[in-house]
Amino acid sequence: MAEFEKRDLVSIEDLSTAEILELFHHADEFRANLRAWSEICRGTIMATLFFEPSTRTRLSFESAMLRLGGGVITAADEKNTSRSKGESLADTVRVVGGSYADILVVRHPEDGAARVAARYARVPVINGGDGAHEHPTQTLCDLYTLWKEKGRLEGLEVVLCGDLRYSRTIHSFCYALARFGANIVTMPYPGFELPDYVLHRLRRDFGVQAAAASVADLPGLAGSSNAAAYLTASKPHQLALFTNLTNFEVNRIDAIYMTRAQRERHAGEETKNYPRLTRSTLGAAAAKDARVMHPLPRVDEIDYDVDDDPRSIYFRQAELGVPMRMALMAFLLGKIQLRAGRPSHFSVEPGMVAGAGLRCRNDRCISNNEGVRYLVRDFRLREAENPPVLSCAYCEREVEARFVGDASTQAAYRYSAPDAKRIRAEARVYFESESQATAAGFRCSDAAG
C-alpha cells in the first residue's frame, strides 16, 4: 500500500464537518458516471467481515469497491468463520488486514467492536455497524441524501420516529444532525426513547437544548407517543422559548426518518401498535415539503402505497450509498485527498488504562464480552471535575468517577478532595466508589477529603 497515515471510520466523529461536506462533492463526481472510475483502486482488495446479517450495507460496499476497480473478499456468514470456533475479532482483523486485504469493513453485534478492529488492524477499518453503538456510513448516506434534497443541513426540521433506543443509525444521525445545526424532533415508540447517554452527549458536545414538543397533526405518528421532544442547538434568542413549560410547536417538517423495531436487540419487549407512516400521514400540512427517509430494511412501518409519493426517497437513499462509499474508501485508501482539516479528539490520558478501576457499564460492550479475554480497560476523560466523567474507549458509554487514586502511592480520595486534585495526570486511576477503590488495593482513609 502507499505510505500514508492510517485513518479509520468507527464513529461519525472520526470525520470533521468540513471533511464530510468535501466528501459529498466527491460523491457527486463519482455518481455523475459510476463506470468512469475503475482505475482509482485497481489492485486494491476490500474485505467485508460481517458477523451480523446485512444486504444493503455489504452489497453497496462491494459494489463501490468494484466500481473503483478493486477486488472484494467477504466473510458474510458468521457460522462459516473462525469466530464460531472462538477466534477473537482482534486475531481475525490482524490476519485479514495483513496480506489478505487493504481495507476492512466490519459489522459486529457487540458495541465498540469496530474500535477494537481499528486498533488491531494495520489497514483502514470502516464500521459497518457495531451493536447499538453507531453506523457512520449509513449516517453519511443519510446526510448526503438530505443535503442533495434540501440544499443544506443547517436549520432543517427532522422528525425521528420509531425505535430510537436501539437504532445505531439513529444515534449516529443525531450526533451528525446536531453538528450541522439541524433541529431534531423525536417521536419514539413508548419505552424506546433516545438513551440518556445520547441526550447527555448532545447537550455536552453540541450544546443541544431540549423541550417537550407539540407536533402538528401527523396521523399514525403523532399519537404513537406522548414523549415527543424538540432538540436544537439554535441561537440563544430561540432558546428563550424553552424557559416556559409549554410545548414547542412544530408546524414545519423537512424530513421524516422512520426506523423499524430493532427486534434483534430487544429483550422480548412488546412493540404492539408500532408507529406506521401512511398516505394520510403525508396529508398533514406540516409534511407538505417533508422527505420520507428510512435506512431499510422496511418491515411494516411504512405502507407500500407511500412508495409512489414523490416525497418518499428511501430507495434513492440506498442508491446514493454507492457513490458515498466510493468517496469514503477512495479517501481512506489515499486515492483522493481532502483539503479540509481533520477533527480534534479527546486524548487518552496516561494512567487511565488500568486493570483495576472503572468498568464499562454497558453489558453489550465488547469489553464485557469477547474482549474480556484480551482487552485492557480503557477510558477517555470527557469532563475533568464535578465529578470526573469518563467514556469507554470502545463503546463510548460514560461513567462518573467519584474517587481518584494515585497509582504511585496507592492512595485514593474523593474527587472533590484537595489531595485528589494534586495527583499527577499520569498517576491517576479512577473509581466509581470507595469500595471499588478498596477492592483494587487502594487506601481510602482520607477519601472524604
Domain annotation covers residue 412 = yes
> Within this chain, do residues 39 and 165 fall inside the same structural domain, yes or no?
no
The Cα–Cα gap between 217 and 283 comes to: 10
Give 10-residue mean pLDDT values along the chain (449 residues). 77 94 98 96 96 87 97 78 75 93 96 95 95 90 96 94 86 92 90 86 87 72 64 62 58 89 67 80 84 89 92 94 97 95 61 59 93 89 85 90 91 92 87 88 68
Q: What single letter denotes the amino acid at residue 52?
A: E
**Parent domain of 388:** 366-439
> Within this chain, do residues 125 and 145 fall inside the same structural domain, yes or no?
no
pLDDT for position 78:
61
Cell of 444: 481510602
- Which segments of 193-306 does DSSP mark as H helices, in order? 196-206, 236-239, 279-282
Domain annotation covers residue 361 = no
Q: What single letter denotes the amino acid at residue 220?
A: G
Q: What is the reported pTM?
A: 0.87
> Within this chain, do residues 269 and 377 fall inside the same structural domain, yes or no?
no
Q: Tell me, what CATH number does 233's domain have?
A: 3.40.50.1370
> Within this chain, do residues 147 and 291 fall inside the same structural domain, yes or no?
yes
- C-alpha distances (whole Å) from 303 to each of 146, 306, 310 are 21, 6, 14
pLDDT for position 23:
98
pLDDT for position 262:
75
Instruction: Compute the Cα dihedral for 8, 9, 12, 16 and give only its sign.
Output: positive
Cell of 126: 470502516
pLDDT for position 350:
36
Q: Please, which residues have CB within 8 angstroms of residue 295's CB and are 6 or more apart in sequence?
A: 135, 138, 142, 169, 259, 314, 317
> Within this chain, do residues 95 and 146 fall inside the same structural domain, yes or no?
no
Helix (H, G, I), strand (E, B) or coil at 424: coil
Domain annotation covers residue 341 = no
Helix (H, G, I), strand (E, B) or coil at 27: helix
Domain annotation covers residue 359 = no
Domain annotation covers residue 395 = yes
Q: Determine contact, residues 312/279, Cβ cutoff 8 Å.
A: no
In 3D space, the residue among 20, 48, 274 whose CA is nearest the CA of residue 163 turns out to be 274
The Cα–Cα gap between 107 and 300 comes to: 25
> Within this chain, do residues 147 and 120 fall inside the same structural domain, yes or no?
no
pLDDT for position 214:
73
The gap between the terminal CA atoms of the chain, to the nearest Å, is 55
Cis before 387? omega within 30: yes
> Within this chain, do residues 406 and 426 fall inside the same structural domain, yes or no?
yes
> Within this chain, do residues 94 and 156 fall inside the same structural domain, yes or no?
no
> Within this chain, do residues 258 and 283 fall inside the same structural domain, yes or no?
yes
pLDDT for position 276:
84
> Within this chain, do residues 24 and 71 fall inside the same structural domain, yes or no?
yes
Domain annotation covers residue 448 = no
> Within this chain, do residues 268 and 131 fall inside the same structural domain, yes or no?
no
Q: How many domains does the chain have?
A: 3
Domain annotation covers residue 214 = yes
> Within this chain, do residues 308 and 270 fall inside the same structural domain, yes or no?
yes
Domain annotation covers residue 5 = no
Question: Residues in the chain, how many?
Answer: 449
Q: Please, which residues have CB within 8 angstroms of residue 117's CB and are 6 or more apart in sequence?
A: 49, 89, 90, 93, 104, 106, 108, 125
**DSSP track, 331-384:** HHTTSS---SPPPP-----TT---SSS-----TTBGGGTGGGGTPPP-EEEEE-
Q: Determine contact, residues 258/293, Cβ cutoff 8 Å.
A: yes
